[in-house]
Amino acid sequence: QVQLVESGGGLVQAGGSLTLSCAASGLTNSRYFMGWFRQAPGKEREFVAAIKWGGGSTWYADSVKGRFTISRDIGKNTVYLQMRSLKPEDTAVYYCGGHYGSTWSLGPGEVDYWGQGTQVTVSS
């Protein structure tokens, strides 16, 4: 059983940086994809970034490309999301998600495991 625990959220001014962490216990298979999603009030949960546990290939939403970086530490079973040049529109609850399989559409509907979420608030 996979358990995901996010941390690192908080309040930051526009233009600032923040790094989120997702500790993944029970995750030992290289066929897992790990992703970050976010959900703002009144909006659907949306894809932000993803990484293939085995190999480290990465994918990003257009809205965060060039500002956010996803990475993983295999020894610590942890996935990170480095966020730079934050904007007020990045304000949301950020969720870590895991998907097991050979492919992934990057949609939230295919996520097998979710973390509890961590709030990120960017003030203008």
- Residue 10 above 90 pLDDT? yes
Any residues with CB less than 8 A from the CB of 107 and at least 6 apart, and which? 47
Q: Residue 56: what pLDDT?
A: 92
Q: Residue 103: what pLDDT?
A: 87
Over range 7-14, report the average pLDDT: 97
- How many Å from the N-terminal Cα to the C-terminal Cα in the chain? 40
CA–CA gap between residue 60 and residue 71 (Å, rounded): 12
Q: Binning pLDDT at 50, 70 and 90, where does residue 102 land?
A: confident
DSSP strand pairing (118-123 vs 68-73): unpaired
Q: What is the largest CA-CA distance in the chain?
A: 41
The sign of the dihedral angle between the CA atoms of 80, 35, 66, 20 is negative
Q: Residue 26: what pLDDT?
A: 79
Instruction: Give the distance from CA 100 to its chain's centroid.
Output: 16
Q: Residue 1: what pLDDT?
A: 78
Phi and psi angles of residue 89, each rounded to the nearest 5 degrees, phi first: -70, -5
Q: 54-101, pLDDT tens digit by residue?
A: 889 999 999 999 999 999 999 999 999 999 999 999 999 999 999 998
- Residue 28 above 80 pLDDT? no
Over range 117-121, report the average pLDDT: 98
Beta-bridge mates of residue 18: 83
DSSP 8-class letter at 28: -
Over range 23-52, report the average pLDDT: 92
